[in-house]
Chains A and B, each alone.
Chain A
Amino acid sequence: MNKVNRTALPLLWIIILMLAAGCASTTVPVTMDFPEVPETLMQEPARLEPLPVDAREITDLLENTTVNYGKFRELRMKYLQWQRWYNTNRRLHKETTE
């Protein structure tokens, strides 16, 4: 009887281990990579131009303002494109993972 127990006990452990393996997690090991951002959106934003110290005329101020407004409009446009990129990729991520 002891001989049988010595054989049966390790086998019982093997069986328990094998059955326990059935409880292993079945989470799908596939993850979505973080989406690539267009390089244009990663460029450092332009700084605004200061008014030159030798500026005397009101037209100098107008020129400076015009250049700076142009830079602002470019930044605004890129900001809107960032939002567009984020919203699109967020939607795609949601559609894929849900």
Chain B
Amino acid sequence: MSLWLIQLIPTSWLNFAALMTLVLGAVLFLAGKLFRRSRLLRQYNLPMRVVGFVMLLAGAYFNGGLGVEMEYRARIAEMESRIAVAEAKSERENIKIVKEIETKTQVIQQDTDATLAEIERLKQKEKELRQQNQSLLSETCELTPSVIELYNQGLSGGTQNE
């Protein structure tokens, strides 16, 4: 037996239905007892008592179960509000992450461009020096300090703030 359908019914309706089942059950049961004494209505006494008894049981069960249902609903509402808060926080964090990525990507691009510009300047200088039969770079292809510096600058972007 599934109870999820009960969740669709408003709380006030449930309260009313549970109370009415209990009251109607009690009335039917007592009426059945009274009808036993009347010759005219005696034939109805057994069905009324049986139905009244069942309704009394059902009413008692529903009244008890309603407390559980209300607690259940409160837990659902609490969970929904907690999820809404968490989703809002997650959304805010996503915005921060996107902004940080945009900013840092720009910084990295600027660093890379700056290093490439320095390499370009080195190339120009080297071209000028070669015309005078001189060179900034080692003729035996050894790494010179300026090359190592530019290499490391490309690695760190000239900043170490990541």
Contact = CB atoms under 8 A, between A and B. Distances in A.
Contacts of B105: 74, 77
Query: How large, as a class, is the contact surface on chain B?
Result: 35 or more
Interface in B142-162: 147, 150-151, 153-155, 157, 162
Question: Which of B76, B90, B123, B162: most chain A CB closer than 10 A?
Answer: B90
B14 interface: no
A20 to B, nearest CB: 7
Chain A interface size range: 35 or more
A58 B116 contact: no
Contact of B79 (A24, A28, A37): A28
Nearest to B104: A77
A2 interface: no
A32 interface: yes
A21 B122 CA distance: 83
Contacts of B41: none
A65 B151 contact: yes
Contacts of A4: 46
Interface in A1-18: 4, 7-8, 11, 14-15, 17-18
A15 B58 CA distance: 8
Interface in A72-96: 73-74, 76-78, 80-81, 84-85, 88-89, 92-93, 95-96
Given A59-B126, A73-B108, A73-B157, 16 more contacts: A7-B46, A11-B54, A19-B61, A21-B3, A22-B61, A22-B64, A30-B83, A40-B97, A41-B97, A58-B147, A66-B116, A69-B112, A69-B157, A70-B111, A88-B93, A95-B82
Pick the 9 closest A-B CB pairs, nearest first: A66-B154, A70-B112, A92-B86, A96-B86, A30-B79, A21-B1, A69-B154, A35-B90, A66-B115
